[in-house]
Amino acid sequence: MRQLSIPTSPIRRNELVAHSIWLLGLVALYASAANAEIRLERAKLSAPVRHDYRYDFDTGEVVRDRLQYQVGLSFLISLAQGKDGGEFQFGGLIGTGNGYTSPWNTVANFNNDESGNHQINVRQIYAQWEYERWRTQLGVIPPVKGKVSETSLDKDGWIRGGRLIMPVRRQGQFELVVGTLDSLDDPNAFQPWAKANYYEVEWTHDWSKGWRTELGGVRLDKDRILRGELRYTATIFGARTELAGEVLRNVQSRVWAHDWSIAQRLGSVTLMNEYAYVPKELGLLGALSNDFFTFGHLWVLGVKGPLSTEGGLYWFGRNYLGEVRINFKLGVGYSVGF
């Protein structure tokens, strides 16, 4: 199990109250000034349950054999609309888990008597302003704006700061993010802000139907990392298919990381095959990758499908094979958007 290097900052009750009052006051003031009708723009509720089993080759032991559950509610509330002034929105993520890359709570451990804390926190909470193709986010914002891979920051994590997205011609956009990645073992969004340690610039472009590229750079603490990504989406042999590749380069340690994946939708079932290589020398960014499992070489095989033709019930399975361990995850879930 890895140890995250940034210490946590425990939150006190008066800080939570102060932040809540400030945030609600800001929302109420803006809504009143704009004389706007508050409405729910979108929301998604996700509630999966899984069995998590991990075996380590080097020790010959079953390290994990447990039953876990996850509850996540993401939302976006519209506070004002206008052709000239754009649209002001308020978003967030409320979910389970006790860490940046751990949105799961443990119900039972079958190989020991420990069963973690049943936590639920506001993991993200932010204000958003959109005008035509411009977008600004400020607060405890999502770490990624779109697709995620095994080398992307965990989608259930957070950045305390801001994001600016501006259009580049008709098919491109430029992104700038400045903020802090901290309190990695305490998902509560209502905490004092620390000094900025995360900076990101990225240019995304849709070249033609199906082709998309991303080029950019990230600075996290002392590490400077360059990255490039290519995605291609098409229908191949009757199956909706997405091919993706991502390459990262740590300028300081002079190491490379990469991720290659293919996802196909066959009828109602989605198959995903992914290979990634993330060395320890990539730095903290590698340890905060989506659903982090292990450093080194990693192969991931995933499958997901519906349990019924109606409703949001589904089943899923994922197999993680690393250099020194293997992990099986099998479960069912419920997801609904409104």
Q: What is the pLDDT of residues 246-299, one digit of tens each?
A: 999 999 999 999 999 999 999 999 999 999 999 999 999 988 987 788 899 999
Give the model's pLDDT for residue 300: 95
Model pLDDT, residue 290: 73
Tell whether the torsion through CA atoms of 263, 100, 56 and 3 is positive or negative.
positive
Kindly state the tokens that stand for 206. Answer: 């849709």
Q: What is the pLDDT of residue 82?
A: 62
Q: What is the pLDDT of residue 30?
A: 53
The CATH code of domain 13-337 reads 2.40.160.10
> How many other CB atoms are there within 10 angstroms of residue 168's CB atom?
12
Asked whether the predicted pLDDT for residue 3 surpasses 50, the reply is no
List pLDDT tens digits, range 293-333.
889 999 999 999 999 887 899 999 999 999 999 999 999 99
Average pLDDT over residues 106-118: 82
pLDDT at position 13: 43
**pLDDT digit string, tens, across residues 64-87:** 999 999 999 999 999 866 666 788
Residue 8, pLDDT > 50, answer no
- Report helix, strand or coil for 310: coil
- What pLDDT does residue 153 have? 87
Tokens of 80: 């004002």
246 touches 259 (CB < 8 A) = yes
Q: Does 146 have pLDDT greater than 80?
A: no
- Position 128 scores a pLDDT of 94
- pLDDT attached to residue 310: 79
Handedness of CA 141, 134, 149, 153 (dihedral sign): negative
| pLDDT on residue 170 | 86
Per-residue confidence band for 148, with pLDDT thresholds at 50, 70 and 90: low
pLDDT digits (tens, 9 = 90+) for 12-62: 444 444 454 445 545 554 554 455 678 888 999 999 999 999 999 989 999
Q: Give the mean pLDDT of 104-114.
A: 86
Give me the pLDDT at residue 104, please: 94
User: Cβ(171)–Cβ(206) under 8 Å?
Assistant: yes
Burial (CB count within 10 angstroms: exposed 0-12, middle 13-18, buried 19+), residue 13: exposed
The pLDDT, as a whole number, for residue 333 is 97
Q: What is the pLDDT of residues 178-215, one digit of tens each?
A: 999 999 999 999 988 899 999 999 999 999 889 999 99
pLDDT tops 60 at residue 2: no
Mean pLDDT, the chain, integer:
87
| Dihedral pair phi/psi, residue 37, rounded to 5° | -90, 120
Angle CA(202)–CA(206)–CA(209) in degrees, nearest 5? 160
Q: Is the dihedral of CA 127, 20, 9, 1 positive or negative?
A: negative
pLDDT at position 112, please?
79
CB atoms within 10 A of CB 33: 9
Rg of the chain on CA atoms, in Å = 21
**Per-residue confidence (pLDDT) for residue 169, from 0 to 100:** 86
- Amino acid, res. 278: V
